[in-house]
Amino acid sequence: MAAFCSAFPFLTQSEFEGACQDLADRCTSAQHIDWSAIRLLTKPDGTSLRITKRVDVPSPLEAPALDLEESQEDEDPEALVRAKPQPSLQIDYDILLSPTYQVPVLYFGLRWHNHGPLGLDEVYQYVVPEQYRQQLKSVGVMGGISMGYHPDSGAPAFFVHPCNTADAMANIADAQNVTPGSYLLIWLGLVGHCVNLHVPRELYA
């Protein structure tokens, strides 16, 4: 029987790493999930989890070129054959344990294929569903989206601030019945849906 969280609504480092392993194992066993990849990232100072997802949305960087070719393609019977594939938006989500708040924190970055990283405006346009935009901009129940340096890579990254995570978890979960694995799934359901990272139903089995 899995042990319950020892300091709910917080996680210890060992509990967090066990939860990451559990989620990775669930993804390995599940089928038909819409995540492109999931992998554990192990370093001497701890483990984190990376989830990669691709979203097919029109790229503003490609729009001018497509507009210029539109009239020619309308008259060209081979246009569909020669059309360039729609570029996809790649989002890399990294789940780490905050040493300050002792709760998971979600870092993420996004980029188009063959283009560099994008900014906060694109995050709200292409990643945050419309119904959550105002909530995140005004620092909602799970904290707003901030920009900082990734703790592992040192590169600029976006993250959902973890300041309200412990209170949110305490309000929705029963401390007596939460294992580290179920904690991570509940937390991911809270944070992920705000940034287009939906938890596949198969992972709750």
**Distance between CA atoms of residues 127 and 60, nearest Å:** 14
**Distance between CA atoms of residues 117 and 112, nearest Å:** 7
Name residues whose C-beta falls within 8 Å of residue 93's C-beta, 6 or more positions apart in sequence: 50, 51, 52, 53, 106, 107, 108, 192, 195, 197
Peptide bond into 9 cis (omega under 30): yes
Task: State in Å, rounded, how far the first CA of the chain is from the last one.
Answer: 16
Q: How confident is the model at residue 184 (pLDDT cuts 50, 70, 90)?
A: very high
Name residues whose C-beta falls within 8 Å of residue 180's C-beta, 6 or more positions apart in sequence: 2, 3, 5, 11, 15, 16, 18, 19, 22
Residue 194 a catalytic site member: no
How is residue 98 written in tokens? 């905050």
193 in any annotated domain: yes
1 in any annotated domain: no
Residue 66 pLDDT: 35
7 in any annotated domain: no
**Distance between CA atoms of residues 28 and 157, nearest Å:** 27
Could you give the number of structural domains in the chain? 1
Residue range of the domain that includes 179: 13-204
**Distance between CA atoms of residues 119 and 135, nearest Å:** 19
Give the count of beta carbons closer than 10 Å to the beta carbon of residue 104.
24
2 in any annotated domain: no
pTM: 0.81
5 in any annotated domain: no
**9: pLDDT strictly greater than 70:** yes
Give the count of beta carbons closer than 10 Å to the beta carbon of residue 185.
19
3-state secondary structure of 102: coil
Query: Which among 5, 20, 27, 163 is annotated as catalytic?
Result: 163
**174: pLDDT strictly greater than 70:** yes
Farthest-apart Cα atoms in the chain, separation: 67
Output the DSSP codes for 111-160: EETTS-B--HHHIIIIIS-HHHHHHHHTT-TT--EEEEE-TTT-SEEEEE
Residue bearing the bigger pLDDT, 171 or 1: 171
Looking up residue 181, the CATH number of its domain turns out to be 3.30.1460.50
41 in any annotated domain: yes
88 in any annotated domain: yes
6 in any annotated domain: no
Q: Taking Cα atoms as reference points, which of 44, 148, 54, 57 lies closest to residue 105?
A: 148
Q: pLDDT tens-digit profile of 55-114?
A: 876 655 554 443 434 444 445 545 444 445 555 788 999 999 999 999 999 999 988 766
**Distance between CA atoms of residues 122 and 195, nearest Å:** 12
Q: How confident is the model at residue 137 (pLDDT cuts 50, 70, 90)?
A: confident
